[in-house]
Amino acid sequence: MATADKIYVMLQLSPVECRVLGVLVEKATTTLDQYPLSINAAVIGANQKSNRDPVLELDERAVFDALESLRNKALAVRVESPGNRVHKYRHNATEVLHVRAGELAILAELLLRGPQTLGELRGRATRMSPLDSLETAKQMLDALMIRSEPLVRELPPEPGSRANRYQQLLCPDLHPLPGVDSVQMPVAPVAPVDTSLLDRIAKLETEVEALRKIVYRLAESLGESL
């Protein structure tokens, strides 16, 4: 049950944890007959060549360690059936990350394929959760970005493109951005620090955070989700 005191905790995941979590989220809606996933199914999903960037070759130990680490972070649950020695896993991301189905589908796409444009995300995430329009997809992205601990950030367009991209923040270095590290930008002279300006900025940030919490509480009291 949602409460006015709900706190969003930012988790930091390893690249392998991100891939495995994305697989659990994806398979929960696209291969219901195989879900929850066995370790072997999780390995196959993590290494599949479609809908993955980059394509990986993870072994069973790496995937198992990631699943258990996700369990320790409450993002995965191990399911044990009587008489079945094969451990299976399902995700718990909806509850832990406090996201809606559409938001989680978009987040999973970003984990599995890296930064993408609004149109790409809408087209690809729809296979996991219906996104009727670009406006709907943008609303989901906005909800992931305006949180007190954002799960997504907006990036400038790639060279030759006009469309902004979006990147997940559970593991910001998961997909290196082409050209960002290879181009040496000129270093501008460092100006003296205006401490009074820094104080004013810090005060404004505090006030914005307080206002954000008020907005969340008002939304929850009205039964709305942000």
- Provide the residue-wise pLDDT of the chain in tens; the chain has 226 residues: 333 334 444 689 999 999 999 999 999 999 999 999 999 999 999 999 999 999 999 999 999 999 999 999 999 999 987 767 788 999 999 999 999 999 999 999 999 999 999 999 999 999 999 999 999 999 999 999 999 999 999 999 988 889 999 999 999 888 877 654 433 333 334 344 444 555 566 566 667 666 766 776 776 677 665 5
Q: Are residues 24 and 103 in the same domain?
A: yes
Answer yes or no: do 210 and 156 share one domain.
no
pTM: 0.74
Based on the domain organization, do 39 and 122 belong to the same domain?
yes
Total domains in the chain come to 2
- Strands 76-79, 116-117: pairing kind: unpaired
Q: What per-residue confidence (pLDDT) applies to 21?
A: 98
Looking at the domain assignment, is residue 36 inside a domain?
yes
Cross-strand partners of 167: 153
Select from 119, 99, 77, 71 the least CA-distant residue to 8: 99
pLDDT at 202: 58
Q: What is the pLDDT of residue 63?
A: 98
Residue 6: predicted pLDDT:
41
* Same domain as 199, residue 163: no
The boundaries of the domain holding residue 203 are: 194-226
Please name the helix (run of DSSP H) or strand (run of DSSP E) that holds residue 26, with its range, or none: helix 15-30
H/E segment holding residue 122: helix 118-125
128 and 213 in one domain?
Answer: no
- Is 142 in the same domain as 39? yes
Q: Residue 38 in 3-state DSSP?
A: strand
Note whether 129 and 76 are same-domain residues: yes
Same domain, yes or no, for 204 and 94? no
